[in-house]
Amino acid sequence: MLITADRVLTGSGTYLEDGAVLVDGDRITAVGPRAQFAGHSRALGAELSFPGATVMPGLIDAHVHLVFDGSADPLATFNASSDEQLLRDMRRRAEQLLSSGVTTVRDLGDRNGLALRLQEEISRGGTPGPRIVSAGTPATTPGGHCHFLGGEVGGEAAIRDLVRRNLAAGAGVIKVMASGGGLTKDGPPSWQSQFSADELRTLVEEAHQAGAPVAAHAHGADSIAAVVDAGVDTIEHCTWMTKDAFGLRQDVLKKIIERGIAVCPAVSPHWQMVARHFGEERTKVLFGQVRQMAEAGVRLIAGTDAGVQRTGFENSLAGALPFYAHVGMPTDRILDMVTAHAADALGLGGSVGRIKSGLRADLVVVDGNPLADLGALREIRAVITAGCVKDPGSSAE
């Protein structure tokens, strides 16, 4: 299959004009000027031409929860649903993501391995959806944040056991709730730490010995410092909360940069409504911290926390990205956050996130020029996942 378009995004802010991508099976086999393939279209198989469009790597949402429905009260539906009901709804959400150009997601917490079951269905071709890197059951303290997912552990032995069980089930990342969170109304506040330094080190050690990365949910400034010292691979949210304010710590920020830890702020597509919750002044501080991290050189990746309160799955990522332009990030770096940089942070840089010969054929075709206008990411012409073309208009309702 030969895919041609006015532009092919081949690197950070770099286009190949009037380009073409050759796909054989589930792999990209060649990338070059359209003229390079002229006269060989019959031998190359089907040709898909997209005038006025851009071919770019498939988008990566690095933080979702497919088990939640994104309503005003996602826990109500969650608690009232059987596993089979949840799985049925998760299939629909996965298809919504794919139709929005998202070809890889990192699911950071579900119940009873449902995301792993869904990933198996998708990999067999039985269910349309993005590739899923699943954390399985996230580790939390008894009564802690997201305890209802079943990952309550106390002590180092129980932590090791949970990590091993997740990995044995097929998890591609280990998730730890290092602080409280807003979704858990009966749990500790978001700024409060949940695990001791020794417990965090034990979890990271157990995961890393098996070759698995660790993603740490950490809102509190103390919990952020603790997970950095423990050696996690990504920090989720990273809002630097204290009991009464926000407080970015320059010494911890320096360690994050030196150790190459990626930060996923998990910005909602409704980011402009944050001031209603925190107030104008605190919101300026919160947004300013993301700007400081970006300017300091932190490796930021994009995720939406899709599934939590009022955060759905359709076009969620495209709706969230203007936040990063709002805090001053250039468009080329924003696109890297949802492609190459996200792939590297998820440990998938050798297979997705770039348009390069030998990589998996996960591609999205958008109208216009996303480097000039991020709104182009809402105008999906085609989605290709593992070499299969998905009609973006056929998403389940």
3-state SS class at 266: coil
Q: What percent of the chain has pLDDT over 90?
A: 94
**Torsion 84-87-91-96 (CA) sign:** positive
Q: Which two tokens stand for residue 135?
A: 């954390």
Within 8 A by CB and 6+ apart from 368, the residues are 52, 53, 54, 375, 376, 379
Q: Which residues contact 111 (CB under 8 A, 6 or more apart)?
A: 67, 78, 83, 86, 137, 148, 149, 150
Residue range 227-241: mean pLDDT, rounded: 98
Same domain, residue pair 24 and 158: no
Q: Say which residue the tokens 């740490």 belong to.
A: 216
Side chain identity, residue 216: A
Residue 187 lies in a domain: yes
Q: How far apart are CA 366 and CA 379, in angstroms?
A: 5
| Average pLDDT for 315-339 | 98
Q: Do residues 77 and 135 share a domain?
A: yes
* Residue 205, domain member (yes or no): yes
Q: How many CB atoms lie within 10 A of CB 116?
A: 19
**Of all helices (H) and strands (E), which one includes residue 333?**
helix 331-337
Contact 208, 167 (CB under 8 A): no
Q: How many other CB atoms are there within 10 angstroms of residue 114's CB atom?
A: 20
Among 40-44, 111-115, 127-131, 202-206, which stretch is predicted with the lowest mean pLDDT?
40-44
DSSP letters spanning 185-254 = TTS--TTSB-S-HHHHHHHHHHHHHTT--EEEEEEEHHHHHHHHHHT-SEEEEEEEE-SSSB---HHHHH
Q: pLDDT grade, residue 396 (50/70/90)?
A: very low
Q: What is the pLDDT of residue 177?
A: 98
Number of domains present in the structure of the chain? 2
**Which tokens sit at 102?**
């998202």
> pLDDT category, 395, cuts 50, 70, 90?
very low
Same domain for 24 and 71? no
Same domain membership, residue 120 and residue 30: no
Digit-coded pLDDT (tens) for 102-138: 999 999 999 999 999 999 999 999 999 999 999 999 9
Contact 118, 132 (CB under 8 A): yes
Q: What is the pLDDT of residue 158?
A: 98
Residue 173 lies in a domain: yes
Average pLDDT, stretch 318-332?
A: 98
pLDDT at site 38: 82
Q: Are 78 and 68 in contact (CB under 8 A)?
A: yes
Same domain, 183 and 202: yes
How high is the pLDDT of residue 188? 97
Asked whether residue 25 falls in the same domain as residue 140, the answer is: no
Sheet holding 59-64, edge to edge: 59-64, 102-107, 131-134
Count of residues making up the chain: 397
Question: What is the band of 45 on the pLDDT scale with cuts at 50, 70, 90?
Answer: confident
The token duo for 309 is: 């309160």
In the 8-state DSSP scheme, what is residue 35?
Answer: G
- Domain residues for the domain of 115 are 59-320
Return the CATH number at 361.
2.30.40.10
Average predicted confidence (pLDDT) for the chain: 96
Among the candidates 261, 296, 320, a domain finishes at 320
Do 210 and 269 fall within a single domain?
yes
Can you say how many angstroms the Cα of residue 177 is from the centroid of all Cα atoms in its chain?
Answer: 17
Q: What is the pLDDT of residue 40?
A: 65
Rounded to 10 deg, the angle between the 221-230 and 250-258 helix axes is: 30
> Is 245 a residue whose pLDDT tops 50?
yes
Q: Give the pLDDT score at 390.
A: 87
pLDDT at 41 (0 to 100) = 58
Taking residues 359-386, report their average pLDDT.
Answer: 97
Same domain, 151 and 299: yes
Whether residue 153 is contained in a domain is answered as yes
Which residue(s) pair with 390 in the sheet?
A: 383
Residue 397 has pLDDT above 50, yes or no: no
Query: What strands, in cross-sheet order, belong to the sheet with 47-57?
Result: 27-33, 14-24, 2-11, 47-57, 363-367, 380-385, 388-390
H or E segment and range at residue 367: strand 363-367
pTM as predicted = 0.96
Encoding tokens for residue 139? Answer: 């580790």
Output b/e per residue, 19-35; b: 16+ Cβ within 10 A: bbbbbeeeebeebeebe
Q: SS3 helix, strand, coil % of the chain, rounded to 5?
A: 35, 25, 35
3-state class (DSSP) for residue 50:
strand
Structure tokens at 332: 């080329």
* CATH number of the domain to which 259 belongs: 3.20.20.140
Look up residue 224 and give its two tokens: 């952020």
Same domain, 6 and 84: no
Residues 71, 123: one domain? yes
Q: Which of 160-174, 266-280, 313-327, 382-396 has the lowest mean pLDDT?
A: 382-396
Is position 230 within any domain? yes
Q: How far apart (Å, rounded) are the C-alpha atoms in residues 151 and 177? A: 10
Higher pLDDT, 345 or 42: 345
369 found inside a domain: yes
- Can you name the residues that pair with 56 across neighbouring β-strands? 364
Compute, in degrees rounded to 10, the torsion defined by CA atoms 380, 385, 389, 392.
Answer: -30
